[in-house]
Every structure is written in structure tokens, then in C-alpha cells.
Structure 1
């Protein structure tokens, strides 16, 4: 893949991806983070793909206007943890501390430090929720994996492996628990049939509110960039 920019104010990052199966240029804007990807045939000059993007500039910018602007995680910004916005400040000690309205972070790279801290916090919360729902269901899972997924908040494999996005720790606790119940329910029903949703309701209760929150607000959790 190659990275380019569409000129303008502001410039729009473009990712060019070659595919041996592509027969023409295709343009995709991620619904989660607004990433613009151009897929082009193997032998097509990059210049033609960039010209194609320039022709579509109005369409691209109108779609990007619907996405929340990316935000670098650094001192002074407000970051949600458990759905509560807290301002990032310099720690007086050597570890991360979450206070009512602030997050104390040591060192000069708060994004990197916070990412490690939040992954571990997410693992603890998601493991506890998964343990609880698996015990209620009466079916064990085999492992928990955390990733920074952009296409889904969780998944369940046929051998009982659970995968979650660690960014769920940024969402309200009930949203995190709903996703855990959703994936654990797949241990019994590997589909999205009425029987599956009945299992989710049995494990979690009324799941409509957290499910709706994810659909409406979930993409905002991807706006925070920690690797700066």
C-alpha cells in the first residue's frame, strides 16, 4: 500500500492499494474512521488513481464531513474512559491514575503510555464480563484476544475464542458488557437468529440501548490516535 494526499485545506490522506483481482479503480471511505482507500489494478499508474480521486474530491469531502475529526492523544485533551471525558495531565508519580475529571499520565508520550494502560484495563473488564456471562450460559470460552479492530467490536470463533476491540474501554460500561454478552451468546448460537438474540437478552437483559449507542456513537471511539 502507498500513502498520498489529496491537496486542499485540509489535505486528505489517501491510501493506494493494488489488487490483482481489481479490473478498475474503486474508492472506499471507512464508515468507522473516514480512511480513504483507492484500490487499483496491478499495472495501473498511480497517477491515474490520484486523478480519479481529484475528480471525486467533492464527494470525498462531503462524506468526510460526516466523520468526527481525528484527535491525537496528548496532554490537555479530553479522552473518554468508561464513557466519561477526562482531561489528560502530567502525572506526579510513575503510573497512570484515573481521577474523576482527569487522567494522570507519566512520561512525555501520553498516547503510547495510555494505550498500554487502556488495553490492560479493557482486558480485565472484558475478561470479568465474559467470565460472568459464560458461567450464566453454562458454556466456557477458550481464550480472549484484544485487537484494534475497525470493522467489528467483537467476534467469536467456532472453537470458543473471543476477540474484542480494546477501544470498548472508552465506551460506557454497559456498552462493553453488552458486547461481551453478545459474543458469549455466540458460544451457543453461531448466527444472528431469533434464538441468538434471545440468548443475548437472557444474558444481558434489554440490550437495545447499548446496541443503539454503538451504532450512533461507536465510530467516535476510533477518532483517538494513540501512536503519536
Structure 2
């Protein structure tokens, strides 16, 4: 651990069945089942150090436009941006008829056993898009639950949409649209966009009064707004490349 060019933490979890590494802008974390020997964990990190360095560089934005690198193909080990981290995709062959994506500390794709390797990428892309949209719907709903009760900011409807140049919008009838690509941004960024659009239910402009209302819900919203200014373009590029 001391000889590596980075530090990392170890977290034991009975919910995971195998070791995994999560890289975010704030930390490098190794998550492992409770009974895995610590020496084995350190060896695992040592073996993965090149991937860790690359992932850390991507999430930190030190090698733009590598914060959201668009892979040539999707398969085993492809890093997928999700909730502010980069998760290497793990493929598992199953006797099912279509690709199924799941996340339990690691991002797993169940691939139909009959599907040849050369067909994996084409099958994975639409499955990832569908799964990410479903996750966006879930996490947007959770953010709404946290903020709608305050000052009765209740939308008429909420849609998760593909938007080419906007992260969210609030219509004249209080219908809110949220861009599903935000599920790949840090959680607080998605929450900021939800709060932003909710506040437009009460104040339709971007006056000082509007920003004061946003700050009542999210006192540190400025950093989330800045993240979108700095990283949003790359995230849009990645998302539309994934759908292409």
C-alpha cells in the first residue's frame, strides 16, 4: 500500500460477493466480502493500479476530454460512469434471452449464453441506456420526495427525457423534465437540477429571489452548478455516443 502512487480505503460488506474498486473524485475505495484476507486485498489493488490511475485521471478531469471517455466497444472491464464514479463493467453469461444490467456495488451485465462475443457491444449499449434511464427515474423520484414538501413545490408531472442541450425544464403547467444523463453525474448534481426546476414552480425567472430559494433547499448549490458548466458538455457527448 505504501509503495503505490495513491492511497485507498478498505470497506467490508456482506452485500458483495467479490472484491471491487470504486474511484470517485474524493477517494479510492476497495469493497470486499468480510472474509477476504487483507493481504489479498492489497495484492488486488496492486494488480489493478494502472486501471485505478486511469480511472482517477478520468473522474478528476485532469486529461480532458477523458472525464467521460467514449469506448470504441462495450464489454468486460469497460468503465461506465454512474452516480459520479467509474465502474468497470463485469459480464456474466446467463441462459436468459436478453441482456440484464444490475448494480450491487459493482456493475454487472448478464449476457445471453448464446450471444457470440462479437455481438456483446451492440447488445450492451441499448441495455445500458434502458437501465440508466430507469435508475435516473428512481433517483429523481427520491430527490423529489426530499424537496417537494418544502413550500409546496409540487409538479404537475415529472418526465425523464433525452435532452440535447438542457438538463431540466419546467413548463407553464408545472410539468418538469429531467435529463436522464444526470444519473452519470455525482448524486448532488442530479439533486441540484431537480431542485432548480422545482423552484421554478414558484419563481419563473433566475432572479436573486430564485437563487435564494434554491439555496434554502441546497445551500452549496453553486458547486453543483459549476460542475455542470465544467463537465456537462462531456457528459452530453458521452450520453449521445452511448445511444448512437
Length-normalised TM-score, structure 2 = 0.61
Conservation of the 8 A alpha-carbon contact between 1:71 and 1:223: no
Runs of 5+ in structure 1 lacking a partner?
Answer: 1-65
Secondary structure, aligned partner of 2:230: helix
Which residue of the partner structure matches residue 227 of structure 1?
Answer: 243
Match of 2:109 among 105, 108, 111: 105
Secondary structure, aligned partner of 1:106: strand
Q: Using the alignment, how far apart are the partners of 1:72 and 1:136 within structure 2?
A: 45
Which residue of the partner structure matches residue 52 of structure 2?
Answer: none
Offset, 1:183: 0.6
Q: Using the alignment, how far apart are the partners of 1:194 and 1:92 within structure 2?
A: 54
Q: Using the alignment, how far apart are the partners of 2:192 and 2:171 within structure 1?
A: 18
Residue 91 (str. 1) matches residue 108 (str. 2)? no
Q: Using the alignment, how far apart are the partners of 2:197 and 2:72 within structure 1?
A: 30
Match of 2:151 among 114, 137, 151: 137
RMSD value, Cα: 2.0
Structure with higher strand content = 1
CA 1:149/1:175 → structure 2, altered by over 3 Å: closer, same or farther?
same
CA 1:105/1:187 → structure 2, altered by over 3 Å: closer, same or farther?
same
Which residue of the partner structure matches residue 171 of structure 1?
Answer: 185
Offset, 1:103: 1.5
Task: Count how many residue pairs are aligned between Structure 1 and Structure 2.
Answer: 162
Length-normalised TM-score, structure 1 = 0.65
CA 1:175/1:161 → structure 2, altered by over 3 Å: closer, same or farther?
same
CA 1:72/1:169 → structure 2, altered by over 3 Å: closer, same or farther?
farther
Structure with higher helix content = 2
What aligned pairs does 1:1-228 form with structure 2 within 5 A after superposition? 70-72=70-72, 74-75=74-75, 76-92=77-93, 95-100=100-105, 102-107=106-111, 108=120, 109-224=123-238, 225-227=241-243
Conservation of the 8 A alpha-carbon contact between 1:156 and 1:183: yes
Runs of 5+ in structure 2 lacking a partner?
Answer: 1-63, 112-119
CA 1:215/1:74 → structure 2, altered by over 3 Å: closer, same or farther?
same
